[in-house]
Chain A
Amino acid sequence: MSGDKVTKALLFLSSLTVLLLSAGIVLSLTGGAIPAFREYGPGFITSTLWNPTTGSEEYGALPFIAGTVITSLLALLLCIPMAFSTSLFIAEYFRGTRTAGILRSLVDMLAGIPSIVYGFWGFYALRPLLISTGLTDQGFGIFTASIVLAIMIVPYATSLSAEIIAMVPSELKEAAYSLGATRREVIFSVIIPSARSGIVASFILALGRALGETMAVTMLIGNANIIPKGLFSPGNTMASVIANQFGEADGLKLSALIAIGLLLFAITALVNAAGKFIIRRFA
């Protein structure tokens, strides 16, 4: 019997690592961010200055918060029609068929491609395409980064949406069909209303992915420490400024970057928690 206790204690101890890791991450980020917050106070979040010159150092996070929020929301906007049609394709129009299976595998493949490969592809294939449209000179910026981000988060939104759509009870759909509804009417007046919260949650979770995405964005956004002025303006996200500037940073700059990391951590944790909450509560 005492052997069982040892096993149980071992399992319990390993579960403690999760607790320690989580606490450690929060404490280390907070500890690292303290110098920056002590120097600039809450104004760190609303300041748009980013000047690493020694002597007149001045750091603010607003341009990066804006960059992250704008690129992620734009990516979400572009992702919605794609994920919406793909999930209806898989879970409604071609449900259970071989075609749906193939499409699902293809969408899953999108999730398997490493971020840096997306960035590289965006740089050499997508960017020239955008330049040739004449809308942008350099091809870098918010829009380019958002397109690639949208492609990257489609699989996450699709797989959950499709699952939720497939769970809509067939009695409901059949009742609508028996009243003479067309498939389009069934989709818009039965399927979507009853799967609404699950679909919303899947998009929120996809947004959570987009917020923290680093490499592809870093390679495409143009890396300018300003609040983006338009669709084709360069910018920087919280993740990309860390990736770009962490290497040579120390002192106050290092602390400012860690503080940005802490903010990013808080934003993604909140967005993910909201998504999970909606799923648990309504789906």
Chain B
Amino acid sequence: MESSEIVLTSHLGIRRRFGLGCFQAVNYGALTLVMAAFWAILWTLVRGSLPAWHWSTWFTVSQGLGGGLANAIVGTLWLSCLTLLLVVPMGIATATYVLIYASPRMKQLTLLVSDVLAGVPSIVFGYVGYIVLVIALGFGFSALAAAVTLAAMVLPYMVRTSYLALVEVPSAVREQALALGFSRAQIIWSIMWAGARRGIIGGAILSIAIAMGETAPLIYTASWSDSLPSLALTHHSVGYLTYVVWTFIQQPYPQAIALAYMAGLILVLLVGAMAVLGRAIRA
């Protein structure tokens, strides 16, 4: 809808010209407002993080309220990888099952339950994750407890994006494969999943972008750690970037505050880049 054509307004009556003027003024006002808000957020992060713009920020771990962000960055990536491993099979399987095997009612019900899950506040996942995984199942503050909690939280996004990708595969191709004597398993593997690959990968990236920006489900499942995450899945707490933003910003030490800004900046860029990437792959 490119509307850059020149609009002549001189023939309009005063009332209509006034209305048009107001409409345009208000629209450009909204444009200015959102650009101001966005740049204010970004500028706050950039300016505040300037003292932490140093290589050591990336390569040293945090010590108390100082040091670097290496443990938080690696921790966020580590938790994201684990979450990905858990959520991708569940998401793809759910979407495939409802599309290939489930009855129409079952399909509707499953998608409804999945969408409803997307409306559950993240702190509820954090609370139940803490009580059930950390305490009752005895995982302790750990990467596994955090990843399971995050996976449960982003599951609906994975299900929905996989489903949308699988639906896009033309049903004619599926029917032709059936006519050639393909079994259902073969159709799923070489027609459905192969055809929906881009959409599914894009959806996985978007789901992980959502998981990376979360704090509430992690506070009581991953806790916080000053050292780099080990490969141990249980009983070893993990540091992550959102925790740094939340706690370090409220400290009176300039070094801690700079790290909090830096962590926020990295998060915004990381999540933004992944959202753009995920959307580009899906499109």
Partners in one complex: no
Residues on B lying within 8 angstroms of A by beta carbon are none
